[in-house]
């Protein structure tokens, strides 16, 4: 083989090796593409409530503030009322990167953390103020981070309110609930709560509740005033009891990998916006609790019962023993921290 031939062959090999390296580098860059590579970052926010609820209003405010402060760099798209996913499928979609923000109720995270079941314990939180006291405490913030090892980042707690209970017969004493089928979220605590009442808990997606009530597939449900009004549950329930037996709290969450890959300045601004919106959601929730309760009462379609102190104590006596079944799971220290907040509020 001549020197020229050898040189040509060597050059061809070098070119081939360089080409392979370039392809590998390009493929690696494509695989590790981050939000900062796009001209405008699109954040898809999926949730299950209407836009008139505290969560729905919070999502709209979040979008508006992002449009104002991060125009051209970030755009938030909102998909309310289970348009894309229900709470259960939303978390799977979040981890797959199909959406970027979700705000499911804390009950929906049992697959990712057992500690958030704390928020389902009956009669644990005295009122919304005690709930906010806890979520803003060191214990509350520590609890919000317990899902990070599952690829989910907690961005904040969004308040909905205190839960009431309804059925097609008056629920004045705990015995009145016996034998009835109640819709519950996917929560072992809520299951135990209704079993303590000798009722039959039925796990069911939020979007299915109205039709299930209307067709008597279930007999009753528990929810906040904003959800009872916005989803029109009061139209298909003859009786609603002001029980305030539990809380409905949401977690605004994102995909941790997506969040960490955002440019620092954008992530910091989003954190500021979320903090501002979170405070506003509390205001929305407190306002809605009063206005929506009155709207339900004024409708005349369901009879609203207010328990006396003695009647409420009967419900507490029956349901509070559920705590002991889950105290090791949710943390006795967390229960103690909530009780400190109760004492302050």
* Interval 80-112: pLDDT, tens: 999 999 888 999 999 999 999 999 999 999 999
Q: Is the pLDDT of residue 1 over 80?
A: no
Q: Is the pLDDT of residue 15 over 70?
A: no
Q: Is the pLDDT of residue 13 over 90?
A: no
Q: Is the pLDDT of residue 9 over 60?
A: no
Stretch 286-292: mean pLDDT:
95
So what's the pLDDT on residue 103? 97
Stretch 184-209: mean pLDDT:
96
Give me the chain's average pLDDT, please. 91
So what's the pLDDT on residue 28? 44
Stretch 312-335: mean pLDDT:
98
* Interval 249-281: pLDDT, tens: 999 999 999 999 999 999 999 999 999 999 999
Stretch 269-297: mean pLDDT:
97
Q: Is the pLDDT of residue 315 over 70?
A: yes
In DSSP notation, 116-128 reads GGGGGSTT--SSH
Compute the residue count for the chain: 345
Instruction: Please report which confidence band the pLDDT of residue 39 belongs to, taking 50, 70 and 90 as the band edges.
Output: confident
CA dist., res. 164 & res. 131, Å (int): 16
Note the pTM of the prediction, 2 decimals: 0.86
Half-sphere exposure of 319 (CA within 13 A, CB side): 27
Stretch 167-190: mean pLDDT:
97
In degrees to the nearest 10, what's the CA dihedral of 142, 250, 93, 77?
-110
Q: What are phi and psi of 58, to 5 degrees?
A: -65, -40
So what's the pLDDT on residue 17? 42
So what's the pLDDT on residue 30? 43
Half-sphere exposure of 335 (CA within 13 A, CB side): 19
So what's the pLDDT on residue 2? 53
CA dist., res. 11 & res. 319, Å (int): 81
- Domains of the chain plus CATH, in order, are 37-344 (3.40.190.170)
So what's the pLDDT on residue 38? 56
Residue 163's DSSP bridge partners are 246
* Interval 200-241: pLDDT, tens: 999 999 999 999 999 999 999 999 999 999 999 999 999 999
So what's the pLDDT on residue 35? 56
CA dist., res. 184 & res. 163, Å (int): 12
Q: Is the pLDDT of residue 33 over 80?
A: no
Q: How many CB atoms lie within 10 A of CB 287?
A: 13
Q: In the chain, what percentage of residues exceed pLDDT 90?
A: 88
CA dist., res. 137 & res. 144, Å (int): 11
């Amino acid at each position: 083989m001549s020197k020229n031939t050898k040189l040509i062959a060597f050059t061809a090999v070098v070119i081939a090796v360089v080409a392979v390296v370039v392809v590998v580098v390009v493929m690696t860059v494509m695989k590790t593409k981050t939000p900062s590579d796009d001209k405008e970052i699109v954040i898809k926010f999926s949730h299950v409530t209407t836009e008139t609820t505290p969560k729905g209003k919070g999502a709209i405010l979040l979008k508006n503030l992002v449009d104002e402060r991060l125009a051209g760099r970030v755009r938030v798209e909102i998909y309310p009322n289970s348009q894309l996913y229900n709470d259960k499928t939303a978390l799977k979609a979040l981890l797959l990167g199909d959406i970027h923000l979700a705000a499911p109720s804390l009950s929906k995270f049992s697959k990712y953390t057992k500690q958030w079941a704390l928020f389902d314990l009956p009669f644990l939180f005295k009122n919304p103020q005690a709930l906010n006291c806890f979520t803003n405490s060191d214990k509350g913030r520590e609890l919000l981070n317990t899902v990070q090892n599952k690829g989910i980042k907690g961005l904040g707690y969004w308040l909905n309110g205190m839960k009431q209970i309804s059925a097609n017969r008056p629920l004045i004493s705990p015995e009145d609930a016996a034998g009835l089928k109640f819709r519950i979220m996917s929560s072992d605590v809520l299951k135990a709560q209704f079993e303590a009442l000798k009722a039959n808990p039925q796990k069911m997606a939020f979007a299915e509740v109205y039709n299930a009530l209307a067709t008597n597939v279930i007999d009753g449900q528990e929810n906040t005033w904003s959800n009872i009004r916005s989803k029109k549950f009061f139209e298909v329930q003859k009786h609603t009891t002001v029980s305030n037996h539990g809380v409905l709290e949401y977690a605004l969450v994102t995909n941790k990998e997506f969040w960490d890959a955002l440019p620092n300045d954008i992530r910091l601004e989003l954190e500021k916006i979320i903090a501002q919106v979170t405070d506003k959601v509390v205001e929305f929730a407190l306002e809605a609790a009063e206005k929506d309760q009155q709207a339900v009462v004024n409708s005349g379609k369901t009879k609203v019962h207010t328990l006396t102190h003695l009647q409420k104590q009967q419900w507490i006596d029956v349901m509070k023993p559920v705590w002991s079944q889950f105290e090791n799971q949710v943390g006795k220290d967390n229960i103690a921290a909530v009780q400190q907040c109760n004492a302050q509020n």
